[in-house]
Amino acid sequence: MIIGAIEDYLKDYARKEFSVIPGSMDPKRISTSLREYLSKYILPSEMGKYLPDQNCAVNDLAAFVYGSVLIDSFTKRLRNVDENQWTNS
């Protein structure tokens, strides 16, 4: 959604399942969108911590890999914010 890797998602609360519908965007464009998005929030020197060593060529795999990178970046940023709140209180 944010970077074009995921078209939609479904949550089944009864089964406790989460399904992702991959987007139809070209994997190279997904990678470029991810880089552009991350560059707003992290330093260029940190980019290697988040991005995979190789680009994904298959769309479904790209959606999974790049979507995971995006989620990981959110998680790390939220942890940093939470830690800063505790240390500054």
pLDDT digits (tens, 9 = 90+) for 38-60: 888 888 888 877 777 666 776 66
In a domain, 67, yes or no: yes
pLDDT at position 88: 56
Contact 26, 46 (CB under 8 A): no
Give the pLDDT of residue 82: 59
Domain assignment present for 1? no
Within a domain: 56: yes
Query: Residue ranges of the alpha helices (H) in 6-58?
Result: 27-39, 47-50
Could you give the number of structural domains in the chain?
Answer: 1
> By CB neighbour count within 10 A (0-12 exposed, 13-18 middle, 19+ buried), where does 27 fall?
buried
The answer to whether position 60 is within a domain reads yes
Give the pLDDT of residue 71.
80
Q: Report the pLDDT value the prediction gives residue 27, as an integer from 0 to 100.
A: 80
Q: Which domain does 69 fall in, by range?
A: 6-87
Cα–Cα nearest to 32, from 47, 19, 46? 47
Alpha-carbon distance of 38 to 17, in angstroms, equals: 28
**Is position 27 within any domain?**
yes
Q: Domain for residue 17, yes or no? A: yes
Q: What is the pTM of this model?
A: 0.56
Residue 12's pLDDT is: 87
The residues of the chain scoring below 70 in pLDDT are 1-5, 24, 53-55, 58-60, 81-89
